[in-house]
Structure 1
Amino acid sequence: MNGAGIERQETRRTGVLGLFGVAVVLACSAVIACAGGPALSDPRTMTFKPVEFTPPEPDRVVFDNGMVVYLLEDHELPLITVTATMKTGTWLDPADKVGLAALTGALMRTGGGGGLTPEQVDEELEYFAGDVSVSIGHESGSASLDVLKKDLKRGLRIFSGLLRTPAFDPARVEIAKLQAIEAIRRRQDNPGSVVGREFMKLLYGPDHPSARETSIASVTGITRDDLAAFHRNTIHPNGIILGVTGDFQKGEMLAALREVFGDWAKGPVPELKIADVPESQRATPAIRFVNKETSQTHLRVGHLTIRENDPDYVALAIANDILGGSSFRSRLFNDVRTKRGLAYSVGSRLMAGVHDQGVWLMRAETKLVSTQEVVSRFIANIERMRTEPVTDQELAEAKEAYVNSFVFSFSSPSAIVSRLVELENDGLPKDFLQQVREKVIALTKEDVLAAAKKHLHPDRLKIVAVGSGDMLPKVLSTFGEVKEIKLSPEG
């Protein structure tokens, strides 16, 4: 059974169980009432106070070389996890070598290091059931070590060796490049991936660090010396935050970390600075389509938006939740799917960080003949969000969902440390999430309406559709001038 079939089956199963549970409760209420006992409340009318939760506070230590360490003990199991967040990223890729940072991260793990060959690293980790991963994403790099308490020193020796002195084994470099090239050759196969990539390029521009993509030429041109130079120029202890959780004693752990990282010299840390898209480009609507043989039209509709530290972020996030971010209770789901049956998958997303302009989008997969109506319903729902206050029930449900899910941001010691590391790396206060929670609680319908009116722009929409047939541009022309994106053959 494919993924969609499993999802439908799971939805049906969950729905049946939910209805069954409600029926049982109501039946029991009736029986108790008939028996003269107190009737149970209808679960649909029950209300609960917001979950109150104060997470434990990790220790924070700064080494002489600038490396920051967060530590939170957890003695439930004899396991230890060490994570490293590094101030590097694919935003630093040279224009002619896009893919350099990602390859550097992959080969820091697979290419050997710390005086060990790739085979020796794998054999050592396999021998004591340790696990190490390293990767470099858009705005930062990450690495992790999972190890039994008794094998901590062996694990740290390997972990620090891969971070400090990766070997970039030449044979492994060639293998990684071939794998990256093969992925490029296949990336036009999935229409969902195509529409996502082309949408980002339309938003930011194809040469912007947040939208540019690798090519066979860019990967082919990357050398082992390029990898070593990228590591040497961007990864230093004063640009790393470690997070340590598990079964350890603070003093012993700090001694072990200083032993493997303490003599690592400081270096110049790149300042994370991503250029804004010019206002003229942001404000200009655009409609594009990709002619690709597929059973459904894959749609992305949206525009660039605010950052996470904007004063209006909380109100806009709740507006998006009501519009399409909350799945089964959202307006888009109930309008486009439930009421009109135009799409099985529909919703909206607000993707906002601190260093780059945020993205707000609506998405759907629908039949070609329904494409025009779906886009029309998207626009109609934006206008409604901009002109009508949300209902008391919509606001209460959205606020309750966020406030009561807050505890899951701190569901384990590793989650607690991970959150604090992430906040410090982004330059946000450590109580940022608590501040967001309090703002959500205080939010009013007027706040949501003002944010929607200010930050949702139907006149700035970028529309990208991937679908088959000559009818697609005609269908989209209702909303403006349509241009075709011709995908370049890969390899």
Structure 2
Amino acid sequence: MKQIIIRLAAPALLAGLPAAAAAQATPPAPLEQRPIRFPQFAESQLPNGLRLLVVENHALPIANLNLYVRSGSSADPADKLGLAQMTAAVLDKGTATRTAVQISETVEGVGGTMGAGVDQDNITVSVGVLSDQLPLAFELLSDVVLHPTFPQQEMETSRAQQLAALRAALGAPATLALRMFDQQVYGDAHPYGRRSTPQSVGALTREDLVAFHRAHFVPGNALLVVSGDVTPAQAQEMARRWLGGWSGAASSRTALPTPPARERAEIYFVHRPNSVQSSLYVGHMGIQPDDPDYYAVQVLNMVLGLSGDSRLEEVLRAAHGWTYSARSRFTRLVGGGTFSASSDVRSAVTDSALAELMVQLRRIRDEPVPQAELERAKNFLVASFPASVETPAQAAGLLATTRLLGLPAEHLTQYAQRVGAVTAADVQRVAREYLQPERAVLVVVGDGTQVLEKIRPIAPVRVFDVEGRPLDPATLQPAGG
């Protein structure tokens, strides 16, 4: 109420001011837009095939190393799901010359950080230090990447942690929705559609980790990114010293299967008894990394659901009060990403919110985006871009992503200019091409006894339990029922 009063009172206050004073209260014209300068970077390749990317910035005495191995969870064999994640988790927990404690104490002793992580396409090993400790950072990175021993006890600790996380995921509606969404969009045969289970993680052996490391941790399958207070010459000299002896040829990549074609929209309902809200995911396959329509798709997504000012947020949250947040996104993966719109809503409005998501997908295809809305979306994307490359680590991360997707650096360095060139006709064209609500996967996670019958008019429904097993809707009961 206070906000409304202030907005109504402001014009009255200005009306009582002299004309000169009122004119002074008018906001000044915006400054002329300054060109966006992407940080300088250098690229090279070592004789053993390791690619090196350096982003130089001497503003702070900090340096970061990020080694990307282009084999993430999608490289897991179908009968060993969770292998890449386990390999990453245990990689820095012991080498031929250092224990896990010694590695940790060495890094922390110089005020640094070290860790490893995994996504669908890559395993990443990272070290961050003060720049005068850069030689030590290279030494540690080399040690854990080239000489890990995968101690059995450390593996068991990691296994226990991953099993606990998988059990916790069964209680997280949004996680259940995303798992079901990926499974249905990509299909069971596609690596992006598979997820580890307690059974698959429990069956992994130390020998599996050793074999995965031997097959995938080779220089031709890696990208080393160095950023911060370092010159390209320094980075190259240290890379040659610590990683120049790394050897091994990358194995040929297996072609990914084609995701299943869909003839109609279907609802995949995950019954989670006694849920007081429902998690929604609506979408389908998106675009390839090198799609020339990427920039128009970015603007489309900004208009639809990328931020709090986008349509999904305005309609589902501001207009109807059904949710705290509603978003859309296009993912970018080597093997092809997805489009999705998602939200968490109260159980009582599940059917209304799901139907409205479909309405908004059709609306942006069928109606040209008004020019003012288009300009607002483009201005937001362009104005926020500098913040995404504000630090050397941020710029290096975006450059690494671009390179790992097989794209030229210009794809990133010309981002602002290409977004600025997108027209309303471009947005409607890509909306018609890349949004397919009539063939979408609609995932709903919630209490079937409360919402299942209400959503049946929207699309045909298939029902599953929280572990992804088919359920007979006639057997649904609330917890304790």
Structure 1-normalised TM-score? 0.87
2:116 alignment counterpart: 134
Shift in Å at residue 192 of structure 1? 1.7
**Aligned CA distance change for structure 1 residues 337 and 409 (closer, same or farther; 3 Å):** closer
**Aligned CA distance change for structure 1 residues 379 and 216 (closer, same or farther; 3 Å):** closer
Counterpart residue type for residue 154 of structure 1: L
Q: Deviations over 1:434-491 (max 9, x none)?
A: 444333222211111121122212211211111125232211111132121123399x
Q: Does 1:40 align with 2:24?
A: yes
Selected match of 1:160 from 142, 148, 151: 142
Structure 2-normalised TM-score? 0.89
Counterpart residue type for residue 61 of structure 1: S
Shift in Å at residue 400 of structure 1? 0.7
Q: In 1, distance between residues paired with 2:25 and 2:418?
A: 31
1:438 alignment counterpart: 417
1:65 alignment counterpart: 48
Q: Does 1:316 align with 2:300?
A: no
Selected match of 1:347 from 327, 336, 341: 327
2:240 alignment counterpart: 258
Q: In 1, distance between residues paired with 2:270 and 2:59?
A: 53
Shift in Å at residue 42 of structure 1? 3.9
Secondary structure of the 1:364 match is: strand
**Aligned CA distance change for structure 1 residues 392 and 41 (closer, same or farther; 3 Å):** farther
**Aligned CA distance change for structure 1 residues 38 and 72 (closer, same or farther; 3 Å):** same
**Aligned CA distance change for structure 1 residues 269 and 418 (closer, same or farther; 3 Å):** farther
Equivalent positions of 1:469-484 (< 5 A) are 469-484=448-463
Indicate the RMSD between aligned Cα atoms, in angstroms: 2.8
Count, aligned residues: 468
Counterpart residue type for residue 217 of structure 2: I
Selected match of 2:348 from 348, 351, 369: 369
Secondary structure of the 2:301 match is: helix
Counterpart residue type for residue 316 of structure 2: V
**Aligned CA distance change for structure 1 residues 366 and 255 (closer, same or farther; 3 Å):** closer
Equivalent positions of 1:403-442 (< 5 A) are 403-442=382-421
Q: In 2, distance between residues paired with 1:305 and 1:72?
A: 31
Q: In 1, distance between residues paired with 2:22 and 2:449?
A: 66
Secondary structure of the 2:121 match is: coil
Q: In 2, distance between residues paired with 1:244 and 1:25?
A: 52
Which deviates further from its counterpart, 228-237 or 333-342? 333-342
Selected match of 1:125 from 100, 103, 107: 107
Counterpart residue type for residue 298 of structure 2: A
Q: Deviations over 1:206-254 (max 9, x none)?
A: 4421121111221122111110110010111222221222333544443
**Aligned CA distance change for structure 1 residues 119 and 342 (closer, same or farther; 3 Å):** closer
Secondary structure of the 1:303 match is: strand
Shift in Å at residue 389 of structure 1? 0.6
Q: Deviations over 1:96-149 (max 9, x none)?
A: 110001100111122x11521222212222322222111232101111111223
Which deviates further from its counterpart, 136-145 or 479-488? 479-488
- Where in structure 1 are there 5+ consecutive unaligned residues? 1-11
Shift in Å at residue 429 of structure 1? 0.7
Structure 1 contact 234–270 (Cα < 8 Å) conserved: no
Shift in Å at residue 38 of structure 1? 7.7
1:96 alignment counterpart: 79
Q: Deviations over 1:360-412 (max 9, x none)?
A: 12222222221221122122222221211111111010111111122223212
**Aligned CA distance change for structure 1 residues 433 and 25 (closer, same or farther; 3 Å):** farther
Q: Does 1:113 align with 2:95?
A: yes
Q: In 1, distance between residues paired with 2:371 and 2:97?
A: 63
Selected match of 1:297 from 278, 290, 309: 278
Q: In 1, distance between residues paired with 2:233 and 2:287?
A: 43
Q: In 1, distance between residues paired with 2:145 and 2:102?
A: 16
**Aligned CA distance change for structure 1 residues 246 and 316 (closer, same or farther; 3 Å):** closer
2:336 alignment counterpart: 357
1:190 alignment counterpart: 172
Shift in Å at residue 50 of structure 1? 4.0
**Aligned CA distance change for structure 1 residues 51 and 476 (closer, same or farther; 3 Å):** farther
Secondary structure of the 1:288 match is: strand
Which deviates further from its counterpart, 116-125 or 396-405? 116-125
1:331 alignment counterpart: 311
Identity of aligned residues (%): 28
Structure 1 contact 104–136 (Cα < 8 Å) conserved: no
**Aligned CA distance change for structure 1 residues 259 and 481 (closer, same or farther; 3 Å):** same
1:174 alignment counterpart: 156
Q: In 2, distance between residues paired with 1:42 and 1:271?
A: 61
Structure 1 contact 30–39 (Cα < 8 Å) conserved: no
Q: Deviations over 1:240-293 (max 9, x none)?
A: 2212223335444433322211111242245374322032xx343211212212
Which deviates further from its counterpart, 197-206 or 223-232? 197-206
Secondary structure of the 1:478 match is: coil
Structure 1 contact 107–168 (Cα < 8 Å) conserved: yes
